[in-house]
Amino acid sequence: MGVERSGSKIVKFYVPLAFYLIFLLFPFYWMTITTFKSDQELYNLKLDPFFIHSPTINHVVELFTQTIFLRWMANTFFVAIMATAISLAASLLAAYAIQRLRFKTAGPTGVAIFLGYLIPQTILFIPLATIIFKFGLWDSLWALILIYPTFLIPFCTWLLMGYFKSIPKEMEECAMIDGASRIKIFRRIILPLCLPGVLSAGIFCFTLSWNEYLYALSFISTTAKKTVAVGLVTELVRGDVYHWGALMAGALCASVPVALVYSFFVENYVAGMTGALKE
């Protein structure tokens, strides 16, 4: 019986998991081998495309010497961190007010905020472009920092509302009896308890800000101010010539920060998403 159960577990669990991992990791494998292949090997259809036959670092050298990749990375870090900070600050206050203060329109307000996340970015592009132009922020990283929270705050508010709901109200009531204010309760009790939810929302904000393409392409035109997602495509695709090696090298390097964030906070991310489902 033990052998049969073990074999059944392998077939039902480990085999599908192996196929899923292969499917999930294959793009990273393909980026890696393309990065270290020579141009001759990339366009030689007679060679096995899944292996490197003549490794080279010329594409990595091209990326760091013929483009301002590090500047793009710095721009992306700045935009992602600032947009994440603004979105988290607004989402925490909004979610706490809706879930804990329970004013008359708290329920409809929460639903309306989440529905705002479902509006496609392409629909908001024209009105946002008008606002950015009037504020004099065109071709500025601050344009992206102010625009990204428009689609980050609604989802993060909804996520944190579900997490706040899992925290017992009795803890706040006891603190109020002892004379603590709402601000003190929020800072001393709520924030430490909802840290997994905050990390989940932060990872979500950082990832979307890091990979966003449409607004970054539309509102930034100066090469030195571009983000990684836009800079790689616009500067390494020249006419009908695709510099695949340098493109894959840039994509691989740009994916490392996000992968590190997930690897360090994956447990808190899962815990935060689990708490959000209670809503």
The residues spanned by each domain of the chain are 2-56, 68-276
Handedness of CA 223, 75, 145, 123 (dihedral sign): positive
pLDDT exceeds 70 at position 229 = yes
Q: Which residues of 42-76 are buried (b: 16+ CB within 10 A; e: fewer)?
A: beeeeeeeeebeeebeebbebbeeebebeebbebb
pLDDT exceeds 70 at position 217 = yes
Q: With pLDDT > 70 as the criterion, what percentage of the chain qualifies?
A: 91
Handedness of CA 84, 87, 91, 92 (dihedral sign): positive
Instruction: Supply the pTM of this predicted model.
Output: 0.84
Question: CATH assignment of 68-276, given 1.10.3720.10, 1.10.1740.10, 3.90.75.20, 2.60.40.730?
Answer: 1.10.3720.10
Q: Are strands 241-242 and 237-238 parallel, antiparallel or unpaired?
A: antiparallel
Q: What is the mean pLDDT of residues 30-58?
A: 88
- pLDDT at position 276, please? 46
pLDDT exceeds 70 at position 2 = no
